[in-house]
Structure 1
Amino acid sequence: MALVEALLAHVSTTGALLAAALLFLVIYIFSISSSSPEDPPGPKPLPFLGNLHLLNLRQPHMSLLELSKKYGSVFRVHFGPKKVVVLAGYKTVKQALVNQAEEFGERDITPVFQDFNQGLGIVFSNGDNWKAMRRFTLSTLRDFGMGRKLSEQKIMDETRYLREVFEKFQGNPFDTTQPVSYAVSNIISAIVYGKRFEYEDPKFQKMVDKANKNIYMTGSAIIQLYNMYPALGPWIKTWRLLMENLQSIRSEIKELVNGLQETLNPLDSRGFIDSFLIHKQSVQESGEKESYFHERNLIITVSNLFAAGTDTTATTLRWGLMLMAKYPHIQDRVQEEIDQILAGREPVSEDRKNLPYTDAVIHEIQRLANIVPMNLPHMTSCDVNFNGYLIKKGTCVLPLLTSVLRDENEWETPDTFNPQHFLDEKGHLRKRDAFMPFSAGRRACPGEGLARMELFLFFTFLLQRFRFTPPPGVSEDDLDLKPVVGLTLNPSPHKLCAISRGESRPN
């Protein structure tokens, strides 16, 4: 009997594989036959594999950048059986995301992001749900001072906690990853939950660390393969770990939501979650049956805010500290300007206009770090005539941000860390249209104002109080600028020394 069952299982497995192979062949033949002369140019895809033979999945943004040199600023490429249109260069990306924002304004939801969000939340949803969640989220975050004076106080409070952590190392080498991530995460936590967490809180640590790991794994080569061939999911260890981490994070968020629900005061909203719960209650009392204000949408929206509000800013800040250690002459100029203008007092947001060199350095950190090089995938909402090509409705579109932030036609030294990119001949901050680290258009980062404030205050405060250097025996040249590629680009593993600049600094 066991032998029969084994044979049946083998036949079943073989049949499934044959069926899958046939399905892929049909998809391939259909994709080839459905192409037209109006399609953008691009390399011919292979059966099943598409253009995988031309793509380095460990650095896909670099592969696409190379392909753009051959096929132009608008081209197609096949990720497995899926056709994707890539937009390269500032002018082309701006034309799509800004000038034709409606046509390119949908989100292409890959299998892993469908697993994460089920079409809910704010980042990976479309249609009425996205409109409702984005409208409510932006309005509520503004109410809690996102990017304004109220946020400034939260950030300055957190900089002091972070300073204490750095001081504990007494100038010895340490990895900045966790303390910086915890500090930045506490800003969005204060806005979302109405409170900050202690860095030693194991639940908080677990949430932040697992969210960061998920962002890294989501951009890994194996998960990109999963997005092309989702049937592989259950056999991929990384995918299973992603789902386990996700469930753990969602459970922690749900526990926090339940605690806030128990102490909810409709007349005194403490944060985003309270406002959502109050609005949900109001909708229920009105008798409205179909509503986007339900628990699953709340938990997924909060997880979107928590992950996005932690990883991107913390990663950029870590790049900034590393770049200061690598280029001490630039760090010298930043600290000279800070000392001269602030004269020992703590920075405030208003100081940005009087610290043009420091502000230019922060802009250049964002440009060179290029932490979301492929952007998040867009999708056309209708058939689009674009730069002489027809891009059909429902096509996945990648506006390649790395091609904008390093566009040779826009930047004097695109591959070099050069703060002069953002300074005019008088030393004033210079606005650059090709500066798009937050993307642009309808899907631009909703937290841009908060992120800009965080980067300025954290960076200025830390540079005012510490001198950042490589560890003893490590030269500036040894600090490697080659990134670790995930969904975002992180600095290679490294340690820095944060050396106090003197006891005369304010407490």
Structure 2
Amino acid sequence: MDSIISVIGTYVSWDLKSLLLFAAVFIITADYIKNRRPAGYPPGPRGLPIMGNLFTIDQNRLAERYGNVYSLRMGQERMVVLNGFDILKEALVTFKVLFCLLSPLYFWSGVFTSSGNLWKQQRRFVLSTLRQFGFGKKSLESVVLDEFTYCAKNIRSKPFDPHLILNNAVSNIICSLVFGHRFEYGEEKFIKMMQLFDKALQIEGSIWGQLYNAFPVLMRRLPGPHQSVKQMWNEVKDFIWVELNEHKNTWDPSETRDYIDCYLSEIQMNKGQDDNTFDEENLVICVLDLFVAGSETTSTTLRWAFLYMAKYPEIQEKVQAEIDREIGESRQPSMEDRANLPYTDAVIHEIQRIGNIAPLGVPHVTNRDVELGGYTVPKGVIVIPNLTSVLFDKKEWETPHTFNPNHFLNEECKFVKRAAFLPFSLGKERLCRYFINVCARFFSSLSKHAL
């Protein structure tokens, strides 16, 4: 009897092993067949079964091996990476066939995480409203300079970590435009919001965010830091909802105080229209987008400015001398001074270039089959513009890996903006370019009074 049971046990054991072996072979074979490259598709490194190239990280080495257009696979998601100024311009400007796409953990509305008609309507409204309230114009100067007075007090009073102070200062400029008022740096709910932004973006940029984007169905059911991101963004949304409800209680359609007032008017104007995308939920997400685009890019750039001015005191001295010579001590800097500050302007641009705070730009997706660099990229494939390949290209910059403001100065020491300067990509998704104007104004104030 024991021998019979032993034989049955051995048979069952081998049968289970065979089943597992068959399942593994079947999954690997199915994955290979499903993810075979179609004809004309860009080349790229072989990926692991199921995982693809999830752990392939050296983008520039891959460009040297496979060329300026190559493919990757993150989980089951196909991606094509573009390298070099010419190919990026061809894809994002000449063809104009790529929609903006960002794979978020939880939201698919607003400006950055939407596409199609929703994206077009929201983007058009955001840009026109920001222009109305002074972005890119002189009328924003008073907001920036007023905020600098508060920032300067915190900088001068004691040794400080620039991270939180600069985040607070830049975010307050966004608050003035969006909410119509600023917050004190020590205000608890404001500090908490800044911390939530930092933590949520860190997680989304980590391996947990990559795994979520590659395997969303699975990761929604697995524990990990990514599970806390939803709660973090919901807390930020709650902060914005409080401001929105306060606005609704005091809102007068005949008087627009800030972005929220303008959006509430737009909601009222578009009621009943078939293609209407304006509602309060979209308003909250758009405000969140403005904070991410405006505060993160600008404050990070300013922190790089602190670092490079500390590392290169001789460059800092030249900036200070130029500002002292052209502006002096009797007044605050103005955007009108920019034409007379070519070296300072060059330093700001070089900080953005070598700081490289958005190395892979904003992901896109093709809305039809398109020819890029001699290859066919099918509809629905994610396209990654590798901005690092342009900002550090030896063909475009004399000393690409050295902090060198002369990259933006001609022989007469006049400022020249170069075509390969793409800190925030090309095309229509670059909301960051409006916010980075804050950096230029703020940097001049910091250089004049604090550095």
TM-score (norm 2): 0.91
Query: What SS does the aligned partner of 1:46 have?
Result: coil
Match of 1:49 in 2: 51
How far, CA to CA, are the matches of 1:266 and 1:130 in structure 2? Answer: 25
Which residue of the other structure, out of 205, 210, 216, is the alignment partner of 1:224?
A: 210
Distance in structure 1 (CA, Å) of the matches to 2:327 and 2:68: 45
Give yes or no for contact 2:297–2:432 (8 Å, CA) kept in 1: no
Does 1:77 pair with 2:63?
Answer: no
Aligned position for 1:36: 38
Contact conserved, 2:102 with 2:112, CA < 8 A, in 1?
A: no
Q: Does 1:360 align with 2:354?
A: no
Alignment partner, residue 11 of structure 2? none
Of 322, 325, 336, 1:337 maps to 322
**1:271, 1:398 → 2: CA distance?**
34
Alignment of 1:278-317 (within 5 A): 278-284=265-271, 287-288=272-273, 290-317=275-302
Q: How does 1:139-218 map to 2 (within 5 A)?
A: 139-169=128-158, 172=159, 174-218=160-204
Q: Is the 8 A contact 2:179 2:259 kept in 1?
A: yes
* Partner Cα distance (1:251, 1:343) in 2: 45
Encode CA deviations 1:128-180: one digit per residue, 9 max, x unaligned: 000110111111111111121221110111111111111111xx3x2100110
TM-score (norm 1): 0.81
**Using the alignment, how far apart are the partners of 1:213 and 1:24 within structure 2?**
36
Which of these residues, 312, 326, 346, is aligned with residue 311 of structure 2?
326
Q: CA, structure 1 residues 159+83, in 2 after alignment: closer, same or farther (shift >3 Å)? A: same
Are 1:441 and 2:431 counterparts? no
The aligned residue for residue 450 of structure 2 is 466
Q: 1:64 aligns with which of 59, 74, 78?
A: 59
Which of 329-338 and 275-284 deviates more? 275-284
Distance 1:397 1:20, change over 3 A: farther
CA distance in 2, matches of 1:24, 1:298: 45
Give the letter for the 1:462 counterpart. Answer: L
Q: Please give the per-residue CA displacement for 1:241-260, whole angstroms capped at 9, x wherever unaligned.
A: 21110110011111110110
Q: How many angstroms apart in 2 are the aligned matches of 1:21 and 1:150?
A: 65
Q: Which amino acid aligns with 1:167?
A: R
Residue 25 of structure 1 deviates from its aligned partner by: 5.9
Instruction: State how far apart, in whole Å, the 1-side matches of 2:28 and 2:94 are.
Output: 36
CA contact (8 A) 2:31 2:49 kept: no
CA contact (8 A) 1:151 1:450 kept: no
Identity of paired residues, percent? 41
How many angstroms does 1:22 deviate by? 6.9
Give yes or no for contact 1:312–1:371 (8 Å, CA) kept in 2: yes
Return the offset for 1:215. Answer: 1.6
Instruction: Assess if the C-alpha contact under 8 Å between 1:422 and 1:430 holds in 2.
Output: yes
2:365 is aligned, of 359, 379, 387, to 379
2:30 paired residue number = 26
Post-superposition CA distance 1:322-377 (Å, at most 9, x none) = 11001111111111111111111210011111010000000000000000001111
Per-residue deviation at 1:289? 5.3
Letter in structure 2 aligned against 1:449? Y
Deviations 1:219-268 (A, max 9, x none): 10122122112212342421112111011001111111011011101111
Counterpart Cα distance in 2 of 1:280 and 1:81: 39
8 Å contact kept, 1:28–1:81: no
- Give me the whole-angstrom Cα distance separating, in 1, the residues matched to 2:378 and 2:244: 42
Matched, 1:107 2:107: no
1:27 CA drift (Å): 4.5
**Which secondary structure does the structure 2 equivalent of 1:132 belong to?**
helix
1:415 pairs with one of 375, 381, 401:
401
- The aligned length equals 429
Distance in 2, matches of 1:237 and 1:83, equals: 25
Contact 2:367–2:380 (CA<8 Å) still a contact in 1?
yes
In structure 2, the residue corresponding to 1:39 is in which secondary structure?
coil
Displacement of 1:28: 4.1
**SS of corresponding position for 1:442:** coil
SS of structure 1 residue aligned to 2:71:
strand
Aligned in 2, Cα 1:116/1:350: closer, same or farther, shift over 3 Å? farther
Q: Deviations over 1:171-207 (max 9, x none)?
A: x3x2100110000001111111111111111111111
Q: Is the 8 A contact 2:156 2:450 kept in 1?
A: no
CA distance in structure 1 between the aligned counterparts of 2:247 and 2:397, rounded to whole angstroms? 48
Match for 2:114: what amino acid? S
Structure 2 CA distance for aligned equivalents of residues 19 and 258 of structure 1: 55
Q: Residues 332 and 21 of structure 1: is their aligned pair in 2 closer, same or farther, counting only changes over 3 Å?
A: farther
Task: Determine the structure 1 residue equivalent to 2:13.
Answer: none
How far did 1:290 drift?
Answer: 4.9
1:137 maps to 2:126: yes
How far apart are 1:40 and its partner, in Å? 0.9
For 2:25 and 2:230, how far apart are their aligned partners in 1? 27
Counterparts of 1:211 and 1:52, CA distance in 2: 25
Q: In 2, are the aligned partners of 1:24 and 1:81 still within 8 Å (CA)?
A: no
What runs of 5+ residues in structure 1 fail to find an aligned partner? 1-14, 468-507
User: For the residues of structure 1 that align with 2:27 and 2:281, how far apart are their CA atoms?
Assistant: 34
Query: Separation in 2 of the partners of 1:223 and 1:343?
Result: 48
Partner of residue 106, structure 2? 116
Residue deviations 1:20-75, cap 9 Å, x none? Answer: 9977863442111xx2331111112221121235x1xxxx3xx1111111111000
C-alpha separation in 2, matches of 1:436 and 1:306: 21
Task: Indicate if the aligned counterparts of 1:107 and 1:379 stay in contact, CA closer than 8 A.
Answer: yes
Q: CA deviation at 1:408?
A: 1.2
Which residue number in structure 1 is paired with residue 8 of structure 2? none
> Which residue of the partner structure matches residue 9 of structure 1?
none
Other structure's SS at 1:235 match: coil
What SS does structure 2 have at the residue aligned with 1:116? Answer: coil
SS in 2 for 1:298: helix
Q: Which amino acid aligns with 1:400?
A: N
Quote the Cα distance in structure 1 between the aligned partners of 2:126 and 2:304: 29
Contact 1:45-1:51 at 8 Å conserved across structures:
yes
Q: CA deviation at 1:414?
A: 0.7
Contact 1:145 1:151 in 2 (8 A): yes
C-alpha contact 2:293 2:431 (8 A) present in aligned 1:
no
Q: 1:145 to 1:29 in 2, by over 3 A?
A: same
Counterpart contact for 1:374–1:401, Cα < 8 Å: yes
How far apart, CA to CA, are the structure 1 residues paired with 2:320 and 2:82? Answer: 39
Residue aligning to 2:6: none
Confirm or deny: 8 A CA contact 2:102 2:362 kept in the other structure: no
2:3 corresponds in structure 1 to none
